[in-house]
Amino acid sequence: MRNFLITVNGKQYEVGVEEVGESSYSPKAVPLSAPAPQAAPMPAASGKGTKVLSPFPGLIKNLLVENGASVKKDQPILVLEAMKMDNDIAAPCDGTVTFNVQKGANVESDALLALIG
């Protein structure tokens, strides 16, 4: 068993890999490339309002309303894809939506998706 320390999206993981058979592979030093740039989150207008947090990790598949649009409580505002399933994320209250994410962004649990103010 060989142990490796890898970093994925800024998080470190220790991984054990079992050697199954003999191999003629001889590892070579490979320079590490810089991590792929990630889209910066859209800034929240004032930081005040009701937070809409991601219930689980996933991909922002679609924004269903425009930034700055008026929304009603329980109105779907974006689609969060997780485990190949689309999940509508709804506004928790009436107000004006200010998104903190962009379409195509990957988010973690409890990430700030939007503010409703």
CATH of 50-116, picked from 3.40.47.10, 2.60.40.10, 1.20.200.10, 2.40.50.100, is 2.40.50.100
Residues of the chain with pLDDT > 70, as a percent, come to 76
Bridge partners (DSSP) of residue 111 are none
CA atoms within 13 A on the CB side of 109: 2
Enumerate the domain spans of the chain: 50-116
Written as six digits, the tokens of 80 are 């969060």
When comparing pLDDT for 26 and 80, which is higher? Answer: 80
Residue 96, SS3 per DSSP: strand
20 has a pLDDT exceeding 60: yes
pLDDT band at 5 (very low <50, low <70, confident <90, very high): confident
Based on its alpha-carbon atoms, the radius of gyration of the chain, rounded to whole angstroms, reads: 20
pLDDT digits (tens, 9 = 90+) for 66-97: 999 999 999 999 999 999 999 999 999 999 99
Name residues whose C-beta falls within 8 Å of residue 24's C-beta, 6 or more positions apart in sequence: none
- DSSP for 31-77? PPPPPPP-PPPPPPSSS-SEEEE-SS-EEEEEE-S-TT-EE-TT-EE
